[in-house]
Amino acid sequence: MDRVTATPVDGGVGVVIPCYAQEGYLGEAIESVLAQTHPADEILVVDDGSPGDPAVVVRRYPGVQLVRQANAGIAEARNTGLRESRSRLLIFLDADDRLLPRAIAAGVDGFRRHPDAAIIAGVCRRIDERGAPWGPKVEFQCPGGDHYDALLRHNHIWPPAVAMCRRECLEAVHGWLWKRHVQDLELYLRLAREYPIHCHPEEVAEYRIQQGGRSQNRGAMLAGMMDVLRLQKPYVAAHPEYLDAYREGERRYPEYYSERLSDEMREHFRERRWGTVARGFADLIRHHPDRARELVTGKLKRLFRLSGRRR
């Protein structure tokens, strides 16, 4: 591993920015950290074997550190940032997202009130590829009480940049273990079993919506979400008080992603992207067969109507 301009930091707050083929947005991410009302004690960019060269961007910002690794995926890039950073509190900011100016201050204030917490989480706002506001306001949905129960039902902590994490808790659960989609939820579920989590309603991050981005691959998100939920089965079996929450998650998560996957498949069908349609349909059959039947039935009815008109 090639480490560039490393500076040890004792305590404080660090921001880890994994980067793979996102050099076009990386400068915005770094500048959003530099604009914090409560300064970060360290900013560490992890180059995950990017085909570009994040160092070209990092050099523009004195004091920002760069760590290089062979391409291993975003989970391993976050783990590298966890190992190489020295801060007690950490934010994991994707290179195409941005922090809002009070992100660090809000997280530090939260840890002052709840020093035993593993995570202090705020809320995001959505932006488009150009950085302009996108979509409706994200509602504050954080529950009180048992966050493991709540996370089984609905992931209220997203994207990763809204969460300030306590280092010792991350290290105790061995960091980011899940290498597929929905890595953040899998980590939060493991943390929530062992530690308190607290939330606040302040907007702390901007989440960029990109066509073709990881989060826009609805089939993979659906498959990843259901696999992460199934990982909880042994724990839920040993703690039956979570059975209702688990069953609700089994119902709600597929509904949420299947609806969006269906919309995505209709668009791909119009564009004659048959391979993508087939993969999406396979994911629907596996995780939500009722939705797959509805989609096929609706398409056949439409074809019959069109056929009747032609006659």
Over range 5-31, report the average pLDDT: 83
Q: Mark which of 212, 246, 263 sits at the end of a domain.
A: 212
Q: What is the mean pLDDT of residues 102-110?
A: 97
Same domain? 191 vs 228: no
Which burial class, exposed, middle or buried, applies to 70 when counting CB atoms under 10 A from its CB (0-12, 13-18, 19+)?
exposed
Among 195, 212, 229, the domain-final residue is 212
Question: What is the per-residue pLDDT for 296?
Answer: 55
Q: Is pLDDT of 151 > 70?
A: yes
pLDDT of amino acid 307: 40
pLDDT at 217: 65
What is the DSSP annotation of 15-61? EEEEESS-HHHHHHHHHHHHT-SS--SEEEEEEES-SS-HHHHHTTS
Helix or strand or coil: residue 256?
A: helix
Mean pLDDT of the 171-177 span: 97
* 188 and 117 within one domain: yes
CATH of the domain at 207: 3.90.550.10
Say if residues 182 and 159 touch (Cβ distance below 8 Å).
no
Residue type, 229: L
Residues 164 and 19 occupy one common structural domain: yes
- H or E, element range at 169: helix 167-172
pLDDT band at 268 (very low <50, low <70, confident <90, very high): low
Q: Which of 189, 212, 235 is the last residue of a domain?
A: 212
Residue 7 phi, psi dihedral angles, 5° rounding? -130, 115
Question: Where is pLDDT greater, at 260 or 311?
Answer: 260
Residue 298 sits in which domain range? 217-310
Burial class (CB in 10 A: 0-12, 13-18, 19+), 279: middle
Q: Does one domain contain both 117 and 242?
A: no
Q: Of the ranges 6-20, 92-106, 269-283, which one carries the lowest mean pLDDT score?
A: 269-283
pLDDT in tens, 214-235: 445 667 777 888 899 999 999 9
My answer on whether 259 and 191 are in the same domain is no
Question: Is the omega angle on the peptide bond into residue 159 within 30 degrees of 0, that is, cis?
Answer: yes
Q: Are residues 158 and 243 in the same domain?
A: no
Number of domains in the chain: 2
Q: Do 88 and 184 belong to one domain?
A: yes
- Facing residues of 68 across strands? 2, 47
Identify whether residues 180 and 232 lie together within a single domain: no
